[in-house]
Amino acid sequence: MATAMVPELCVTDIGASLRFYCDLLGFAPRYARPEEGFAYLEREGADLMLDQLGLGRDFDPSLRAGDRPFGRGVNLQIRARSVAPQLAAANVPLHLPPEDRWYRVGDRASGSRQFIVADPDGYLLRFYEDLGERPL
């Protein structure tokens, strides 16, 4: 069954993005079209696509590398075991350091252990572990 929603991120350097997503964050390529600067990645049930600007098809032809950071106002939440140690070892700064946060959901609180990291083009990735629920 296909994933219901898969973000496609425009990137300026597919090689740098693949090193970041695969080597540091643990994504694996499902398939790629190198001649188009395209890769479909997956990690623990989270899927995303990367597409290099200027190769293949650009869905926003007005977007330029100088427009970074890309994805302003959006963060992609990804349920996963922590990747913070790999990022710290590689000296990748975190946009938001690890925190435990509880959010009201109806009459309960749902907990997340989370942090945010920016990819090479400025997309914000919020990794979280589920801490379960508790009464308000």
| H or E segment and range at residue 16 | helix 14-18
pLDDT band, very low/low/confident/very high, at 1 (cuts 50, 70, 90): low
Q: What is the CATH number of domain 8-55+74-135?
A: 3.10.180.10
Place of tokens 């899927």: 47
Sorted by where each begins, the domain ranges of the chain are 8-55+74-135
Phi first, then psi: what are they for 42, rounded to 5°?
-145, 150
- Of the candidates 11, 8, 21, 6, which has an alpha carbon nearest to the alpha carbon of residue 121? 11
- Of the candidates 88, 72, 78, which has an alpha carbon nearest to the alpha carbon of residue 113? 78
For the segment 83-116, what is each residue's pLDDT rounded down to a tens digit? 777 788 889 999 999 899 999 999 999 999 999 9
Residues near 69 by Cβ (< 8 Å), separated by ≥ 6?
118, 121, 122, 123
For the segment 16-45, what is each residue's pLDDT rounded down to a tens digit? 999 999 999 999 999 999 999 999 999 999
